[in-house]
Amino acid sequence: MESRLVGRDRELGVIDRAIGAVRGGERRILLVSGQAGIGKSRLAVSSLRRAKEHDFAVLMGSSSPLQAGLAYAPVVEALRRYLGTLPEPESAELLDGLHDIAGLIADPRLSPAPPTGDPELERTRMFEAVLRLVERITARRPALFVVDDLHWADRGTIELLHHLGRGSRRRRLLLWCGYRSAEPGGPLTALAMTVRRDESGVELALEPLSDNAVGELVGDLLGAPPRAELLSKVTARAQGVPLFVTALVGGGEIPDGLPVIVRDVVLDRLQRLDDRARRLLELIAVAGAGGSPRLLRTVWAEDGFDVVLRQLFQQGLVEELVDGPALTYRVSHPLYAEVAYAELTVGQRRSLHAAIAAALDRTDVLEAAPHYRDAGDLVDPARACEVLGAAGQRALDVHDAQEAVNYLSVALHHAQSIEHADVIPELMDGLARALQANGRLDDAASLWNHADALARSRGDSPRQRILGYYRSILEAERGNVSTPMLPVPFESEDPPIGLVVHWLIAVRANDLTRLWLVLDAMIGLTEHQDTAEARTVAHFGASVAARIGGDYAGAYTQNQIAIEASRAIGAESREHYAYAVKLQHPGLSILRGDVAAALRATGNPGASQVQFHLPGAVHYVEYVKVWATYISGDLAAALAVADDSLALAEQVGQDRLTGRALAARAFLLLENGNIARAEADLKAARECYDATHDDLVMVTDLAETAYALRTGAAVDATAYRPPRPLGDLLVDWLRVAYSGYLAVARKDQPAAQQVLQHLRVAGKTSPFLDALALRQEGLMLDDPELLQQAAARLDAMGARLSVPKALTGAQPLSKREREVVQLVGKGLTNAQIAERLFLSERTIETHLHNSYKKLRLTTRPALTRWALEHADD
């Protein structure tokens, strides 16, 4: 019988109302947070009981620190348990046709969907398949889906739950998510924000129990009213945390001087167990979510299992989870499991993991892999290679680099220990890719070198060549781009993917001579190859060549043809060819004058796949999105993307990426008027500065120029640099434009004329740059008409770029003039404004005439735009 839940009447009321709403056909998301031991899991159990009383389908899974390396583990646990409780025909009907979920739950009744080669698309399809499964369940009866201890979950699990919460509108689903409030961060923060904004979301932050509630709980635990002295000690030490109360009272008397930290409390409980009970508790802790009776009996292998288990139940240390025929045991709270596990020696842990691995179903990689990983050399190395290799490949398939490193490194160790030559090269490749994607470039380089030495010793020249491309990409990422450092020298007969590698190296090295050699070979590919890969690379090469030559219209056309050609490439390698082509598409679209198309093109789903060779790939995509969003005029959104871009750069851990992300954000902060934060970012960016990287030079120049324009700070007289042939297009031309603004502000006519000339020449093939040239001319001539023409042309392209305030020369409006202008911004006519302000129309016309003159504007649409831009001033 379930014990009484003390001190949670308010929370139970919220849960009952949510259950009632879901019974009525609505959807609810319940996010339960609180510190460790506050009672989240206990509340989840009460929620399950209440839902079952109303004939809900119940699904429950929980994350565990012992199995935190497995992607989507709690969702898999919940779905498996629930499907296992159903009759076979019913579960088969629920799964019918959901092949995209096969890789997640590995049900023999589902054949895996054919791979698309697009990891993001496959992930989306998997998410949609899970959503459809949940919708089928809720079509039959309301459902409660509980996922506890989300603070240990992988990012994918949280994003999948986020998808379920947003996608299950008007479905009879109560999604219950629990996590430690002190440890959310990252995706949990985003999930919490979504719940707060969602009218169907409820956030429960569990607070410590009151002293009265603690008294009630102690009385229930003891079966009698507590003595005042004991209650005083418990109240002082536990500080209202139910776990602490339970642990303290479970020991009878509280030892003097006992620290209040939960680890010591739990240790005190564990030390009171006899050896047999302690061994069984440790086994259950190590088994984690897989602690079935069959498994535990097999591994424990002692008499009296039921007697010892009952002892643990009576002391509140173990609980059982029953889902139809499925029964599992677990330590009653994760902190007990953590402490029990931590107190074992390494040898004891390995022995238990090895015994569990041997007892598990060999086909269940999801459950077996963590135990094979942590069993050290106590498992069969051949079998460990098989299980851990499969787990590592699964991690690569779902783009979890850290999980892949964890499993593949151990698998490789086992393979090398038994000289399992057939699998060593494949494991080396997978592990090197995972290390590279994880930003551990030096470790990846060392492993690629070992793989190359192995291929050389076997005389495997084709494999050496392929490994050489991988190593070359890595050296480019590390900044080692001089010819002696490159494992594969350039050859004009290189295959298409090899030429893409050499293109990357030449760009990274800022070596225009080498780049032209590579581009000539790329463009000539179709003369002797008629494949989708050759056509893609050839047109991409032609696009780059046109771009370097200043023909932006031709570059856009060739890039479009390359994108179309890439669609015919096989799914397994398509994104490796299409990634760079798609990456430059937003910039070319903006130069062409189509900002809306650029924003649509900022998504680059192949980035996560390419990231296994280029750790910065996902950051590069976000960086491009920063500038497209800024040019569209959405400064707030651009700053948000800049924050994401910086976080990704820091995650990769390369100074050039971090520096340019900081400089980009500094520029946006300056545009937003936040000088202090911009100065801090600029200072940090300067610490990462490296003049050998064009992209870093460009964005730093842009931020420094904008800072000087905004603050009047001194700038090196040689700060202006002409357009550069390589690097980021948008940043480079924004840098040129801002150099022109600064030259005008400082009355440096030669520099201003130089900028104008560069913009005019480039503007012959770029409407966007032609409009910037017109603006530069208007600023130099102090001509409002030219400035209005430039603004109108930019606006028609979707480019909302205003002239920096330092150059407008506008005089301040009077209070009444500002009032009139703001009403113009709201769309009122002169007559309506006159009526609103109790003035004559003639007076309104006078105020508007003065406002046009002061602001140096000539049209009402321009005045309206000014009013909207300065609404918060």
User: Is residue 388 in a domain?
Assistant: no
More confident residue, 484 or 698: 698
Looking at the structure, tell me whether residues 735 and 709 fall in a common domain.
Answer: yes
Q: What is the C-alpha to C-alpha distance for residues 112 and 106, in angstroms, rounded to an integer?
A: 9
> Residue 827: inside a domain, yes or no?
yes
Total Cβ atoms within 10 A of residue 467: 25
Instruction: Tell me the three-class secondary structure of 375-425, residue by residue.
Output: CHHHCCHHHHHHHHHHHHHHHHHCCCHHHHHHHHHHHHHHHHHCCCCCCHH
Regarding whether 201 and 218 lie in a shared domain, the answer is: no
Among 763, 783, 807, which residue terminates a domain? 807
* Structural domain contains residue 560: no
Burial 788-800 (b: 16+ CB within 10 A, else e): bbbbebbbebbbb
Rounded CA separation 537/566 (Å) = 9
Phi/psi for 563 (5° steps) reads: -60, -45
Residues 794 and 831 in one domain: no
Half-sphere exposure of 186 toward its Cβ, with a 13 Å CA cutoff? Answer: 16
Q: Are residues 67 and 161 in the same domain?
A: yes
Same domain (yes/no): 772, 830:
no
- The set of residues, in sequence order, having a beta carbon less than 8 Å from that of 223 and lying 6+ positions away, is none
Distance CA 488, CA 311 (A): 66
Query: Is 779 inside a domain boundary?
Result: yes
- The pLDDT tens digits of the residues spanning 469-509 come to 777 777 777 666 554 445 566 665 668 888 888 888 888 77
Instruction: Kindly report the average pLDDT of the chain as a whole number.
Output: 83
Strand, coil or helix: 144: strand
Q: In terms of domains, do 225 and 181 share one?
A: no
Higher-confidence position of 154 and 557: 557
Instruction: Grade residue 873 by pLDDT with cuts at 50, 70 and 90.
Output: low
Residue type for 619, please? H
Residue 518 confidence (pLDDT) above 90: no
How many domains are contained in the chain? 4
Residues 215 and 80 in one domain: no
Q: Are residues 773 and 669 in the same domain?
A: yes
* pLDDT tops 80 at residue 243: no
422-448 pLDDT, tens digit each:
888 889 888 988 888 887 888 888 888
Residue 325's contacts (CB-CB under 8 Å, 6 or more residues apart) are 84, 85
Last residue of a domain, one of 250, 271, 292: 271
For the chain, state the CA radius of gyration: 32
In-domain check, residue 732: yes
Query: CA 636, CA 592: separation in Å to the nearest integer?
Result: 25
Q: Are residues 772 and 668 in the same domain?
A: yes
Query: Given a cut of 60, is residue 260 above it in pLDDT?
Result: no
Structural domain including 852 reads 811-869
Do 178 and 264 reside in the same domain of the chain?
Answer: no
How far does CA 720 lie from the centroid of its chain?
37
Are residues 816 and 741 part of one domain?
no
Report yes or no: 110 and 98 within 8 Å, Cβ to Cβ.
Answer: yes
Whether pLDDT at 195 is above 70: no
Say if residues 701 and 735 touch (Cβ distance below 8 Å): yes
Q: What average pLDDT does this structure show over 454-461?
A: 81
Specify the higher pLDDT residue, 110 or 670: 670
Q: What is the pLDDT of residue 766?
A: 95
Distance, CA of 657 to CA of 672 (rounded, Å): 23
710 shares its domain with 644: yes
What CATH code is carried by the domain that includes residue 128?
3.40.50.300
Residue 624's pLDDT is what?
A: 92
> Among the three residues 247, 271, 295, which one is the final residue of a domain in this structure?
271
- Is 90 within the bounds of a domain? yes
Residue 577 within a domain = no
Going by pLDDT thresholds of 50, 70 and 90, the confidence category of residue 142 is very high
The CATH number linked to 843 is: 1.10.10.10
Residues 6+ apart with CB under 8 A from 446: none
Cβ within 8 Å of residue 489, ≥6 positions away: 483
Q: pLDDT tens, 76-118? A: 888 988 988 889 889 889 888 888 888 778 777 877 777 766 7
Whether the per-residue pLDDT at 283 is higher than 80: the answer is yes
Name 164's Cβ contacts closer than 8 Å, sequence gap at least 6: 130, 131, 134, 145, 173, 175
Residue 132 resides in a domain: yes
Q: In terms of Cα–Cα distance, which of 115, 184, 175 is closest to 147?
A: 175
